[in-house]
Structure 1
Amino acid sequence: MNLPEVIQDLVKTQNNFDSAAYANCFSETAVVFDEGKTHKGRKEIEHWIADANERYKAVMKPLSFEEKEKEMILKAEVSGNFDGGSIVLSYHLEIADQMIQSLKITG
């Protein structure tokens, strides 16, 4: 699967539980939508992923990748400390200048 470099970095940093490096995949003004909450800016994103890493210890295994006009969609199997142990999630990404501008995670 041919993923853009920033998405490869996102997966790698998630699987290494490196919250700071994960947040650095995003622009300073990026927005993340996850579990009904919005996280704005790199600092909030770093706090969000650090908390998620602590709670879930989730790792990602990319399953498919699709590029549409305005967004890219990565489907990944996510395994960790949560009910069921694994789930397939869709990561809806907007990327500009090799940085993630927005991420919406859906089940």
Structure 2
Amino acid sequence: MRLPPPLDTYFEAQTTADADRMAATFAPGGVVRDEGLLHRGPGAIRAWWLAAKRQYDHVAEPLELSHADGRVVVRARVSGAFEGSPVVLDFAFRLSGGRIAELEVR
């Protein structure tokens, strides 16, 4: 499966635990919606990701790619230190200018 470049980098950075590289895939005004919270801008997104990594020690493995409502949706197997691991989640991305403008994890 070929992911658009910023998404390929996003998931690769998950595997190598490179928070700076992951955050750099987001546009300056990029947002993440996850677990009912909103994180805006690469700094806040980096902090969100590091906190989640500490709490869950998770890794997301892309399984399939689709498009819906102007978004690129990546279904991924997420495994880590949490009850019910692994789970399959949808990562719904909106891209703009070669970067991630929005991510909703559902």
Q: Map of 1:81-100 to 2, 5 A cutoff? A: 81-100=81-100
The residue type equivalent to 1:24 in the other structure is A
- Indicate whether 1:60 and 2:60 are aligned: yes
Partners of 1:94 and 1:49 in 2: how far apart? 18
Q: Give, in whole Å, the separation in 2 of the partners of 1:17 and 1:51.
A: 12
1:7-43: CA deviations, max 9, x gaps? 1101000111111111111011001000010001111
The DSSP-based 3-state class of the residue aligned with 2:82 is coil
Q: Counterpart of 2:30 in structure 1: which amino acid?
A: A
Q: How far apart in 2 are the matches of 1:6 and 1:18?
A: 14
CA displacement at 1:68 relative to structure 2: 3.1
Separation (CA, whole Å) in 2 of partners of 1:12 and 1:28: 20
CA contact (8 A) 1:17 1:57 kept: no
Tell me the percent identity: 29
The count of corresponding residues between Structure 1 and Structure 2 is 106
Cα distance in 1 between the residues matched to 2:93 and 2:85: 24
Quick one: which amino acid aligns to residue 35 of structure 2? E
List structure 1 runs of 4+ shifted beyond 4 angstroms.
none
| Runs of 5+ consecutive residues of structure 1 not aligned to the other structure | none
The CA RMSD measured in Å over matched residues stands at 0.9
